[in-house]
């Protein structure tokens, strides 16, 4: 039974932090710039105009070969905010004055916009041309008019809230789809078994995705190799199994609903999404294999279509956000999983 599902969905609260961040960004973009005389040191929140030349660092700590032009420049504006440039550069420039030149040693992050410099240590010779204080404008109609002529603060505030609310609405949509899929799995016969080959394949994909995510977050190749052991993989399969089984059951159930209701995605919609993803990959200079991407795109679009259909035929009750329950994700309590892992380790030692 998949028609008329009754599900409770946790509300997606308005993200006040996102609203505040968007407002602060606008205020910074339209701030008042006040030039500081020589002898006045720059501070956090200021910005400086610099000429910047980079060099690879020698083993003795001296300047070596010049870096590519993309790692420096003339008349570069440097906001004195952590995270705006490579780690260490902003911190080393705080306190500098107009007409002062400083040498700052930095190490490029493992994932850099210039791959040839990733992880390398460099020295930047920075000449400070100007020190500028940034004064954020007060919120009100005059500030709104800086953003757009004839705009009132009430209109700007509504525009900012609209963008944040759109994100909340999308999160509510995702919560609703997750709840519907879970309800669909619950409605399946209890004795329905999932082939082990499907569980193994799904587990491998999830494990690979986890490693890829760790790599994207900056985990080194050496650290990743330490994680890829048979013991770690077996432990992961135990923890991930409930999620894998539920995910496979959900996909099979959704395909059954799609067939029963004659739901299918138009080929043109698939083509448009594939072209968009291809353009994004080319822009990032990444490889793009359409033969691998197209089936995944088609499956995701069909899944969304079926879930939208289920939503239109279900009773949805929005409830207050609950405390996080690990057992809902893991399929068991952390204590039960720990006991299971310990029992499996004991069995291996006996064998």
pLDDT for 343: 67
pLDDT for 84: 77
- How many domains does the chain contain in total? 2
Given a cut of 80, whether residue 326 has pLDDT beyond it is no
Which CATH number goes with the domain that contains 119?
Answer: 3.10.50.40
pLDDT for 112: 64
pLDDT for 151: 95
Q: Are residues 122 and 215 in the same domain?
A: no
Given a cut of 70, whether residue 113 has pLDDT beyond it is no
Which CATH number goes with the domain that contains 268?
Answer: 1.10.3120
Domain presence at residue 321: yes
Q: Are residues 115 and 195 in the same domain?
A: no
Q: Which residues contact 15 (CB under 8 A, 6 or more apart)?
A: 164, 167, 168
Report the predicted TM-score, pTM, of the whole model to 2 decimal places. Answer: 0.68
Q: Are residues 80 and 123 in the same domain?
A: yes
Domain presence at residue 26: no
Q: Are residues 191 and 328 in the same domain?
A: yes
pLDDT for 328: 61
pLDDT for 302: 95
Domain presence at residue 162: no
Looking at residues 63-75, what average pLDDT do you find?
80
Q: Are residues 197 and 256 in the same domain?
A: yes
Average pLDDT, the chain: 88
pLDDT for 250: 93
Boundary-marking domain end, from 86, 116, 135? 135
pLDDT for 215: 83
Top pLDDT among 50 and 61 is at 50
96: containing domain: 32-135
Given a cut of 90, whether residue 308 has pLDDT beyond it is yes
Domain presence at residue 154: no
Q: Are residues 321 and 250 in the same domain?
A: yes
Q: Are residues 124 and 187 in the same domain?
A: no
Domain presence at residue 212: yes
Q: Are residues 87 and 209 in the same domain?
A: no
pLDDT for 339: 65
pLDDT band at 262 (very low <50, low <70, confident <90, very high): very high
Boundary-marking domain end, from 135, 151, 178? 135
Q: Are residues 116 and 186 in the same domain?
A: no
Q: Are residues 240 and 304 in the same domain?
A: yes
Given a cut of 80, whether residue 72 has pLDDT beyond it is no
Highest average pLDDT, of 14-23, 65-74, 332-341, comes from: 14-23
pLDDT for 75: 92
Lowest mean pLDDT among 121-130, 151-160, 175-184, 212-221: 212-221
pLDDT for 280: 92
pLDDT for 68: 76
Q: Are residues 190 and 318 in the same domain?
A: yes
pLDDT for 85: 77
Boundary-marking domain end, from 113, 135, 157? 135
């Amino acid at each position: 039974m998949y028609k008329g599902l009754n599900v409770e969905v946790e509300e997606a609260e308005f993200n006040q932090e996102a609203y505040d961040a968007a407002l602060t960004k606008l205020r910074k973009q339209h701030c008042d710039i006040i030039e500081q005389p020589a002898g006045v040191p720059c501070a956090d929140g200021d910005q400086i105009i610099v000429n910047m030349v980079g060099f690879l660092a020698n083993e003795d700590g001296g300047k070596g070969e010049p870096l590519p032009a993309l790692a420096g420049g003339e008349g570069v504006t440097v906001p004195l905010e952590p995270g705006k440039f490579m780690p260490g550069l902003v911190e080393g420039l705080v306190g500098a004055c107009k007409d002062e030149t400083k040498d700052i040693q930095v190490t490029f992050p493992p994932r850099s916009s210039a791959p040839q410099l990733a992880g390398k240590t460099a020295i930047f010779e920075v000449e400070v041309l100007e020190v500028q204080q940034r004064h954020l404008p007060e919120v009100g109609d005059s500030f709104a008019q800086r953003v757009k002529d004839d705009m009132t603060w009430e209109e700007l505030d509504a525009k900012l809230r609209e963008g944040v609310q759109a994100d909340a609405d999308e999160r509510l949509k995702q919560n609703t789809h997750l709840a519907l899929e879970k309800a669909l799995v619950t409605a399946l016969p209890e004795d329905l078994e999932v082939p082990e080959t499907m569980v193994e394949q799904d587990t491998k994909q999830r494990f690979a995705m986890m490693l890829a995510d760790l790599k994207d977050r900056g985990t080194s190749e050496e650290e990743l190799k330490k994680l890829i052991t048979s013991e770690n993989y077996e432990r992961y399969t135990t923890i991930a199994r409930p999620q894998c089984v539920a995910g496979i059951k959900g996909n099979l159930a959704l395909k059954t609903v799609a067939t029963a209701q004659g739901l299918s995605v138009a080929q043109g919609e698939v083509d448009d999404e594939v072209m968009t993803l291809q353009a994004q990959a080319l822009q990032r200079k990444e490889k793009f294999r359409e033969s691998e991407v197209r089936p995944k795109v088609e499956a995701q679009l069909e899944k969304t279509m079926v879930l939208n259909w289920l939503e239109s035929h279900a009773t949805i009750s929005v409830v207050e956000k609950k405390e996080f329950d690990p057992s809902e994700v893991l399929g068991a309590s952390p204590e039960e999983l720990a006991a299971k892992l310990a029992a499996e380790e004991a069995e291996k030692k006996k064998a």
